[in-house]
């Protein structure tokens, strides 16, 4: 018996096709020959064949005490047989099976993001043996610490570090960016990415499910299988709704003694569009995000993200690229090149980030021997350069050297500080010669992205940073932020976020996923940037895999579109049931076959509405509105 049931369910789509062909043949015979006996026999065969997989699923549902849609349809078909309405039974079974086929096909299509990712997973690797040769092995045989060879056109088999060689790797499967990234000794590479040209040897750092690629697949699968508040409500609603339809049909029969009317109510009460509408929106939307390097961790995250009214940003590495650069300069000497050469000669002795920024700004220059070097902790360096006493550092170093700026110099210093610059001053023989303003560089097009977020309904844009207040305020003014606070420790940031939540705001925090874990956890929605680091994936609700802020408005717009799409599908599904019931009680045009046809049309409508999310992009947002 178990084998027969399995056989029926496996061939459900074939049964659907057979039912459709038999029903069509019956009507052709009726219209062509008028043979009503053959007409009814073929319809009976079609009905019996079609109801088999539906009845099997109904029995399975009843065994676990669930009165499913299949139960309604099975009872309706049996009732149609009792009143000898074979046309209705054949049409109802075919349309129900066809609707199930459409649902499954659509869900398979919307899960194509997962399928594509899975197909990208590497299957083999060239592993170095004890003799120094490389042999091809299954990727499951690679262990942490193994040395692997990756050639042009091959997939990187594991997460690892380049030991030797160089080339360009396409990291679209991880970051969503199609432009290949140059890799050399010490560079990190990720499983599933493709070596476009070049050859490298890597040491395996993470293998199997522990790789970034493995975590992405696991995350997206979990997200697509998760249920939102709306889906949980519909599941709960269906448990009570289906028995209620049965009771209503029974009551109508008891009052009217009209079996056909009671059976019609059973058919019309099938909430197929309501059951499929929300999941198809959810799965299609998450699939869209996955293809664009945006990981949304489930329907609950999407629902909360769509309601965000306050977005808080960490400064360094989020709004800025985390690389200081010389932005402004003032010179107090006629020989600018000589001062820069002295400064570069001293700064190349230091590993300080500001020193690197100064050297990058100066570029090619003449270097002089540096003698009698004195490093003043927290202040700078003093040394003899080409017979001159040169001091390069901050204001404290100038004061220590007893160098007093005149009024113009003082005004320049105050102006630089007001602009949020970190200062590097260079003095030669006791006189200030150059003033350099250094600041972390804002990410390209950040202001445009912030404007897009405002248009999407984010009322408050806030920046929190451990940097000094003046620097943070200056950056906040330039970017048009609502608020900007400096001197913030990690615990200060999370406390600030909690205060906003206590005020009733829905807060999203955008950080790098490493130093901002408390804030990511405290916020209603934690959004991590960081090219798929472990911490980013594990501690946040949304991950922008390529650390590109332009994906942030895409993610928020997509979340709003998904929620809007879910609501549209619920309205379509409920509206159709209401209209059909009204048609039954207040008109004569709604029958079983008409009702089922309208039901299947509503299922197709919510499916088509949901799969539009697969093509969502920020430039097409308006097209997703009904």
Contact between 106 and 281 (Cβ < 8 Å): no
Length of the chain: 626
Tell which phi-psi region holds residue 193, choosing left (phi > 0), alpha (psi between -120 and 50) or beta: beta
The residues near 353 (Cβ < 8 Å, ≥ 6 apart) are 324
- C-alpha 213/C-alpha 219 separation (Å) is 10
Contact between 107 and 283 (Cβ < 8 Å): yes
- C-alpha 519/C-alpha 508 separation (Å) is 9
- C-alpha 615/C-alpha 582 separation (Å) is 36
CB atoms within 10 A of CB 418: 11
Burial of 138: CB neighbours in 10 Å, binned 0-12, 13-18, 19+ = exposed
Integer CA distances (angstroms), 479 to 313, 315, 446, 484, in order: 12, 11, 8, 10
DSSP H or E run through 623: none
State the virtual CA torsion across 246, 251, 252, 253 in degrees, nearest 10.
90
Active site (annotated) includes residue 314 = yes
- C-alpha 154/C-alpha 369 separation (Å) is 49
Contact between 523 and 529 (Cβ < 8 Å): no
Alpha helices in 298-349 (DSSP H): 299-306, 336-347
Which of 70, 146, 159, 314 is catalytic? The answer is 314
Token pair of 240 as six digits: 């009570």
Q: What angle do CA 201, 203, 206 make, to 5 degrees?
A: 135
The residues near 404 (Cβ < 8 Å, ≥ 6 apart) are none
- C-alpha 159/C-alpha 178 separation (Å) is 19
- C-alpha 355/C-alpha 365 separation (Å) is 15
For the chain, counts of helices (H) and of strands (E): 23, 20
Helix (H), strand (E), coil (C) string for 286-336: HHHHHHCCEEECCHHHHHHHHCCCEEEEEHHHHHEEEEEEEEEEEECCCCH
**DSSP single-letter state for residue 144:** T
Contact between 23 and 94 (Cβ < 8 Å): yes
Reported as half-sphere exposure (CB side, CA atoms, 13 A), residue 61 has a value of 19
Contact between 610 and 287 (Cβ < 8 Å): no
- C-alpha 485/C-alpha 560 separation (Å) is 29
Contact between 380 and 394 (Cβ < 8 Å): yes
Query: Hey, which bits of 111-156 come out as E strands?
Result: 124-128, 134-138, 147-150
The residues near 92 (Cβ < 8 Å, ≥ 6 apart) are 73, 76, 77, 80, 267, 592, 593, 596
CB atoms within 10 A of CB 576: 23
The residues near 418 (Cβ < 8 Å, ≥ 6 apart) are 470, 474
Active site residues: 314
């Amino acid at each position: 018996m178990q084998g027969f049931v399995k056989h029926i369910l496996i061939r459900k789509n074939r049964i659907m096709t057979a039912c459709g062909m038999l029903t069509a043949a019956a009507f052709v015979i009726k219209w062509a020959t008028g043979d009503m006996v053959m007409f009814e026999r073929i319809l009976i065969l079609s009905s019996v064949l079609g109801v088999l997989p539906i009845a099997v699923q109904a029995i399975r549902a009843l065994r676990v005490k669930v009165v499913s849609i299949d139960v309604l349809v099975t009872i309706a078909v049996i009732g149609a047989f009792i009143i000898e309405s074979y046309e209705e039974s054949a049409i109802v079974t075919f349309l129900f099976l066809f609707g199930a086929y459409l649902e499954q096909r659509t869900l398979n299509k919307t899960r194509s993001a997962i399928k594509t990712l899975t197909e990208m997973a590497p299957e083999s690797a060239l592993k170095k043996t004890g003799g120094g040769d490389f042999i091809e092995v299954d990727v499951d045989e690679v262990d942490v610490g193994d040395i692997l060879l990756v050639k042009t056109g091959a997939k990187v088999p594991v997460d690892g570090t380049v030991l030797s060689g160089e080339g360009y790797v396409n990291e679209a499967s991880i970051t969503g960016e199609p432009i290949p990234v140059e890799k050399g000794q010490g560079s990190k590479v990720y499983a599933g990415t493709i070596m476009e040209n070049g050859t490298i040897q890597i040491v395996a750092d993470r293998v199997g499910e522990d790789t970034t690629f493995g975590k992405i697949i696991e995350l997206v699968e979990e997200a697509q299988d998760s249920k939102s508040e709306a889906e949980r409500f519909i599941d709960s609603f269906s448990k009570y709704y289906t028995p209620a339809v049965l009771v209503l049909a029974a009551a109508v029969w008891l009052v009217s003694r009209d079996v056909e009317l009671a059976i019609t109510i059973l058919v019309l009460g099938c909430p197929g569009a309501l059951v499929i509408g929300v999941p198809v929106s959810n799965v299609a939307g998450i699939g869209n995000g996955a293809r664009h390097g945006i990981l949304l961790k489930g329907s609950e995250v999407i629902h909360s993200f769509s309601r965000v009214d306050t977005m808080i940003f960490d400064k360094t590495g989020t709004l800025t690229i985390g690389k200081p650069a010389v932005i402004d300069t003032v010179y107090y000497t006629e020989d600018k090149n000589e001062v820069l050469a002295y400064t570069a000669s001293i700064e190349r002795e230091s590993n300080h980030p500001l020193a690197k920024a100064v050297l990058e700004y100066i570029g090619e220059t003449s270097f002089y021997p540096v003698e009698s070097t004195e490093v003043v902790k927290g202040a700078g360096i003093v040394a003899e350069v080409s017979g001159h006493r040169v001091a390069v550092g901050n204001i404290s170093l100038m004061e220590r050297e007893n160098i007093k700026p005149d009024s113009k110099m003082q005004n320049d210093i105050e102006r630089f500080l007001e602009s949020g610059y970190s200062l590097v001053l260079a003095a030669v023989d006791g006189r200030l010669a150059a003033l350099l303003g250094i600041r972390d560089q804002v990410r390209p097009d950040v202001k445009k992205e912030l404007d897009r977020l405002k248009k999407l309904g984010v009322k408050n844009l806030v920046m929190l940073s451990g940097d000094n207040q003046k620097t943070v305020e200056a950056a906040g003014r330039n970017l048009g932020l609502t608020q900007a606070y400096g001197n913030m420790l990690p615990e200060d940031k999370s406390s600030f976020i909690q205060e906003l939540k206590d005020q009733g705001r829905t807060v999203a925090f955008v950080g790098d996923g490493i130093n901002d874990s408390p804030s990511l956890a405290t916020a209603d929605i934690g959004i991590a940037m960081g090219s798929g680091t472990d911490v980013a994936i594990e501690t946040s609700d949304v991950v922008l895999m390529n650390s590109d802020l332009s994906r942030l408005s895409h993610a928020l717009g997509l979340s709003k579109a998904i929620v809007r799409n879910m609501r549209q599908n619920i309205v379509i599904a409920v509206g159709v049931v209401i209209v059909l019931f009204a048609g039954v009680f207040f008109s004569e045009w709604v029958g079983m076959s008409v009702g089922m046809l309208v039901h299947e049309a509503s299922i197709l409508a919510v499916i088509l509405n949901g799969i539009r999310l697969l093509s969502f992009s920020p430039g097409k947002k308006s097209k997703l509105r009904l």
